[in-house]
Structures are given as C-alpha cells and as structure tokens.
Amino acid sequence: MAQLSDRSELQPDLLVDWSELHHDLLVLIARRLNLIEDYLSFGSVCKSWHVVVVATKCNFNSDLPRVPWLMLAEEEEDCRKFFSLYNSMILKKRIPKATGKWCMESMGWLNTVGEDDGEISLLHPFSGVEIELPHQRDYHDYPWMRTSIRKAVLSASPSHTSDYLLMVIDVKFIRFWRSGDLRWTKIYWEEGTHFPYSDIVYFNGHFYALDFTGCIVVCDVTGPEPNKRHVVAQLPFYLRHSRGQTYILESLGSLFVVVRNGCLPRLPEDDFDRIPLTFIQQVENEENLIHGTLQFIVYRVDLAAGQGTQTRELGDSFFSGC
C-alpha cells in the first residue's frame, strides 16, 4: 500500500502540459494529419495549438490521400456547409468572400465567379487567402460568358508554389491563366470542330480535355504553341444530342473516362418524389425538371494507342460526378 501511495504522490509530477509542446513539434504533427476534421479539432485544443493551425492552414498537406468533403449549395449568406463522406459530419464554415458566387474546387482551393459582376478569384476556404484573377470583360462574349465557367482545374496548389496554372471550361471554350499573367489565354479549335468540352483533368504534367463526342485532346500549355490543342484519343461514344454527362479523371496512374447515361427529364410530382429509371417523353417547359441516372460506363484510356477500353473498375478510388 505504501508503494501505491508513493506512486500516487508522483503522478502530479508526471503530468504533461500539452499547451507547452514545442512549436516546431506541433507543426510536424499538424502537417501529418490526414483528415480535415482532425486538423480542425487539433486547432481547438488550446491557444498554442490554434496558433499552429492558423500558421499552417494554407499549407495543409494536400498530397496525403484522403476522403473528400462535398460542399453543399449555399443556403445562407456568408456560410457554406461541407459534408464528410468519411463520418457523415457536416461542417458549417463562414466564407463571406464566397457569398453569392459560383464555386468550383481544385486542390483544396475554390475558384469563385461572381454572378453579377463576373469577378474571378481563387479562394482558400479555411485560411481566407484570396488570389484575384484577370477579369473576362475584355472578351467580346463576356456579357454572355461571365457566369458560364463550369469546371476549373489547377496544375499545382498555390499553397505550395507560385508556379501554377488554372484551366477553365466556359461552355464551349477552354481558357487558362498562368500565375502572374495579366490576361487569360484561349485554346483554339481546329477548323470544323465545334463541340463543347465536358471535363478537364491535369495528368502527368499536361491538361487533358474531353468533349461530348468522346474526343480527348491535350493542351501543351508549356510548348511553343500553348493556345492550340492536339487530339490524342477517340472513345466510342457520342452524347451530343442525348441526356448524359462525361468525366475524365486520373486513378492509380492511369487516365479514365466515365460516361453517365441519364433518362430524359420529367416534372417532379412532389417534394418526396423519386425518379424511376424509365423513359419519359420530353416536355416543352423545362423549368423545375429533374434527371435520373441509368448507368455509368467506364473506359481506361490508352494514350499510346489513342483509344479507350471499357472496364468495370476505377482502381482503389471513389467517384462522385455531378
């Protein structure tokens, strides 16, 4: 009993004050956290830990594999909600700079486009760092195109380097902006090709774009003709006049194309309506229409052969298309 008493008397001396851990050690720990929810909880422990999170927010290690968060549609001013696919947690975050703007994500950054003024910027949702981009008002099609950007992809994270590019799809065309440029550079079509692009991806140092005819082009923005595209593959599908969507993505070092075939639209009967996967005749009034998904078709792209082979897997990856 005496020994137990002696040990109990020593316990207060063995207690560690976690708030006094060395700053550099806390930084190393923070940069090894894999889940953003753990990262945010880390900063809530005490003041000294919060200081570390504030200092490293923009440098949160985006190279670590992690389950993504989904950003939900805007419901109230200044705030956005994020849904974790890992634990179904919903995070509510004040992001006043994203209020009333279209938001597209790439490498943890948001590409925001103002609905009214067409202002474009890169915004880090957690650090609040904002990078203003050249306005599109100099283009003759600006009044129509100012809110039509539908995909944005970075070549590298602005958190880690100043040498990066941002490529966007604005319905029909592809444009890119290199860090430090004063204007956007437009990628031109070859004569006779006028099919809109559906998706882009940065893969092995190049931007690859996919159109609705199944044509894959590479944009060599570092070459002698950065504003031209080159066809590298043709896949066996055509969605120009059908209801569907196509996506191009990287998984386990390979390039894949996913085709989502959807049924024709119909009017929902009520708020709890579920969409039957059946053929519905198209209606003239397309307001408040909803869509369904019949199937996904996956192709593994062979760039050397210039073709795609249908497959039933994406490797060890999660796909979420919208």
pLDDT at 241: 44
**In the chain, where the domains are located:** 1-62
* 275-319 tens-digit pLDDT: 443 334 444 555 555 556 777 888 999 999 998 888 887 666 655
* 3-17 tens-digit pLDDT: 444 444 545 555 667
Buried b (16+ CB within 10 A) or exposed e, 168-188: bbbeebbbbbbbeeeebbebe
| C-alpha span between 21 and 16 (Å, rounded) | 9
Joined tokens for residue 172: 């029909």
Q: Which residue has the higher pLDDT, 54 or 95?
A: 95
* 65-121 tens-digit pLDDT: 566 778 887 777 788 888 887 788 888 888 888 888 888 889 889 999 887 777 889
Query: What is the pTM (predicted TM-score) of this model?
Result: 0.75
pLDDT at 274: 46
pLDDT at 142: 55
**Looking at residue 16, what DSSP letter applies?**
-
Q: 246: left (phi > 0), else alpha (psi -120 to 50), else beta? A: beta
Band of pLDDT at residue 153, cut at 50, 70 and 90:
very high
Q: 134-138, 159-163, 237-241, 268-272: which has the minimum mean pLDDT?
A: 268-272
pLDDT at 265 over 90: no
